Structure 1
Amino acid sequence: MENRFDGIAEFVAVTRLGSFTAVAAELGMTKSAVGRAVSRLEARLGSKLLHRTTRRLVLTPAGEAWLEHCVAALAELDRGESELMLARDTPSGEVRIDLPTAFGRLYIMPVLLEVAERYPALHFNVSFTDRRVDLIGENIDLAVRIGNLDDSADLLVHQIGVQHMAIVGSPGYLAKKGVPRSLDDLGHQDCIVGRRRDNRIAWLLKQPDGSIARHIVSVKHEFQDFEAVHMAVSEGHGLAQLPFWLVRDDIRDGKLLTVLDGMSGGEVPINILWPRTKALPAKLRVLIDGLVRGVRELSSAIA
């Protein structure tokens, strides 16, 4: 297949240096190869670009017009290459990021703002969703996801933590309804659950053999995200299974009490993921490093 760029570099070099011999020396080609490249370009364009004499090369009117376009195009390519190299080496430009709703707002956003403070040339475009996103199809540079991921050759993944779950209720609710001692007791409790992608979130509980199984509880209320569930539980409307990172402070302060200790399961990884590339842009490199370091410092709150 004919390449429409064939001969352009040789033609521009000939007009600059004035001879095929000089161009051959500069480009590491033979003199005849340079001549053939320019001839093929003229044949493709259907126009003579150079008058060749034994002493010099002179541009034709068509050659002068074509040279102007070629110089402008090569200059634009040089600018584009410089911008790409700058993006590779200097953290700058827009980064599109998708985060889990509650965890993203509470734990990832503070880290992002610290990175933004260190690298003012970065521009973050952040969305908050709990659905599965198509990073490549939706043009997302980086995402944080909680849970096990499907294998994908198009993505790179780095684990930054583990989410642990706890079953909690307010002191007032437990004083009224009683503290459950077994799984069977959950059938007599008001349980609050979340809903994700139109699916009710089952509780993950440890079985006697140590395995983890999904357990459908008797539902009093359903809410779309963990923060709404957390609010309802804190106000005494029932029990809920929630991430430890969301209820840690409430448990410490006695605002929420854990029940069925040792039975709440569902430890799942917290991952950063981004599209696979041969060279990681600087803007993503500093962001990933910042998230790994920042979330590690928060590990006691997450675990």
Structure 2
Amino acid sequence: MRNTDHLGGINAFVTTARHGSFTAAAERLGLTKSAVGKSVGRLEDRLGLKLFQRSTRRLSLTPDGERFLQSCQHAMDILQQAEAELTSHIAHISGRLRVDLPAAFGRQRILPLLLNIARGYPQLALTVTFSERFVDLIEEGIDLVIRIGELADSSGLVARRLTTQKLVICASPEYLLQQGEPIIPEELSQHKCVVGFRRDQPISWLLKDCRGEVNRYVPPATYEFADGDAMLAAVLAGCGLSQLPLWLVGRYLASGELKEVLTGHSGGEMPISVLWPKSRQLLPKIRHIVDALIKAAEDGLLD
């Protein structure tokens, strides 16, 4: 019982330190705030030192706590590695897999693939979230993310490019009938534009110049949406022009519900990548999903 409590106290301490409060740690661990606090308190008593500086406003690590956290994280990494190596030979896929996906692409292209895999592996449990923001996989306990666009600092992660999404500028025929069709990029400033909104990221479209070189162009942001499906809905409703991926608008272009414009300046592409925490040995569930995503990309199912 004493050893179990000792390990539980370390887990409670590390989780609290990572999330900044007993309340957040309790939610993560599925315990009460009081239970987490008492577990950390018993650990401090056993060590004979304070790991946290407590105040009415915030919880912060003491210098001893910071040193102990580094040691604990290193030890937990070793334990996780040992578990991965031990289970790497297991043929069946099991356990909970936490995945974060970009909204529209994730729902249309990745989620069906994940659900199909889940049906074949009853012992696999999924937690799927949809966001466009940067996520700290280690901090937030996420196993796998799909991201669109050039990757920022990804130290500590493994990144594998799956495919690229081709971009086109389009609008509804009704909008073009009322507002006219732009012939050169400079005329975009006279139009209403539907753009993707990302916090801390500049809004720009990728356009080819007369030499065929791709440059960034900042369109007038008449309507801003943080979701590709919402952008598509606005363009179909005649709200303006937008640069959208071909996988999202292809069928509407084919049906005539949307019309491509500035075709000579199209051709911009954005990479689509899968990322997961760097480790020497992949857990079977992560390896299986990554392999399935790579195969789907090679078969053209993600285009």
In 1: Cα distance, 2:179 partner to 2:215 partner = 25
* 2:191 is the alignment partner of 1:189: yes
How much has 1:84 moved relative to structure 2? 6.8
Indicate conservation of the 8 Å contact 2:144/2:274, yes or no.
yes
In 1: Cα distance, 2:283 partner to 2:268 partner = 35
In 2: Cα distance, 1:155 partner to 1:297 partner = 25
How much has 1:296 moved relative to structure 2? 3.4
* 2:296 is the alignment partner of 1:276: no
Q: Alpha carbons of 1:199 and 1:280: their partners in 2 closer, same or farther (altered >3 Å)?
A: closer
Indicate conservation of the 8 Å contact 1:146/1:270, yes or no.
yes
Indicate conservation of the 8 Å contact 1:88/1:279, yes or no.
no
How much has 1:93 moved relative to structure 2? 0.2
Aligned partner of 1:155 among 138, 153, 157: 157
Indicate conservation of the 8 Å contact 1:173/1:237, yes or no.
yes
Stretch deviating more after TM superposition (253-262 or 198-207): 198-207
How much has 1:207 moved relative to structure 2? 2.0
1:24 corresponds to which residue?
A: none
In 2: Cα distance, 1:173 partner to 1:277 partner = 51
How much has 1:297 moved relative to structure 2? 3.2
In 2: Cα distance, 1:273 partner to 1:228 partner = 26
2:243 corresponds to which residue?
A: 241
Indicate conservation of the 8 Å contact 1:187/1:218, yes or no.
yes
How much has 1:126 moved relative to structure 2? 0.7
The amino acid of 2:86's aligned partner reads: M
In 2: Cα distance, 1:151 partner to 1:220 partner = 31
* 2:102 is the alignment partner of 1:103: no
Stretch deviating more after TM superposition (83-92 or 194-203): 83-92
- The 3-state SS of whatever aligns with 2:146 is strand
How much has 1:160 moved relative to structure 2? 1.2
In 2: Cα distance, 1:200 partner to 1:238 partner = 20
2:293 corresponds to which residue?
A: 291
2:136 corresponds to which residue?
A: 134
Indicate conservation of the 8 Å contact 2:205/2:219, yes or no.
yes
Unaligned runs of 5+ in 1: 1-80
TM-score, normalised to structure 2, is 0.68
In 2: Cα distance, 1:250 partner to 1:88 partner = 46
Unaligned runs of 5+ in 2: 1-81
- The 3-state SS of whatever aligns with 1:196 is coil
The amino acid of 2:222's aligned partner reads: K
Indicate conservation of the 8 Å contact 2:205/2:243, yes or no.
yes
- The 3-state SS of whatever aligns with 1:180 is coil
In 2: Cα distance, 1:250 partner to 1:237 partner = 16
Indicate conservation of the 8 Å contact 2:84/2:282, yes or no.
no
The amino acid of 2:131's aligned partner reads: T
In 2: Cα distance, 1:91 partner to 1:85 partner = 14
User: Residues 113-136 of structure 1: CA distance to partner in whole angstroms, max 9, x if unpaired?
Assistant: 111112111111111010111111
How much has 1:266 moved relative to structure 2? 3.2
Indicate conservation of the 8 Å contact 1:192/1:229, yes or no.
yes
2:167 corresponds to which residue?
A: 165
Q: Alpha carbons of 1:92 and 1:200: their partners in 2 closer, same or farther (altered >3 Å)?
A: same
The amino acid of 1:118's aligned partner reads: G
User: Residues 46-81 of structure 1: CA distance to partner in whole angstroms, max 9, x if unpaired?
Assistant: xxxxxxxxxxxxxxxxxxxxxxxxxxxxxxxxxxx7
Indicate conservation of the 8 Å contact 1:98/1:140, yes or no.
yes
Q: How many percent of aligned residue pairs carry the same amino acid?
A: 42
Indicate conservation of the 8 Å contact 2:208/2:215, yes or no.
yes
In 1: Cα distance, 2:202 partner to 2:238 partner = 21
2:258 corresponds to which residue?
A: 256
Q: Alpha carbons of 1:87 and 1:270: their partners in 2 closer, same or farther (altered >3 Å)?
A: same
Indicate conservation of the 8 Å contact 1:143/1:274, yes or no.
yes
In 2: Cα distance, 1:84 partner to 1:117 partner = 26
How much has 1:82 moved relative to structure 2? 8.1
1:206 corresponds to which residue?
A: 208
Stretch deviating more after TM superposition (145-154 or 240-249): 145-154
Aligned partner of 1:219 among 218, 221, 239: 221
The amino acid of 1:85's aligned partner reads: L
Moved over 6 A (4+): 81-84
TM-score, normalised to structure 1, is 0.68
Matches within 5 A, 1:71-82: none
The amino acid of 2:295's aligned partner reads: R
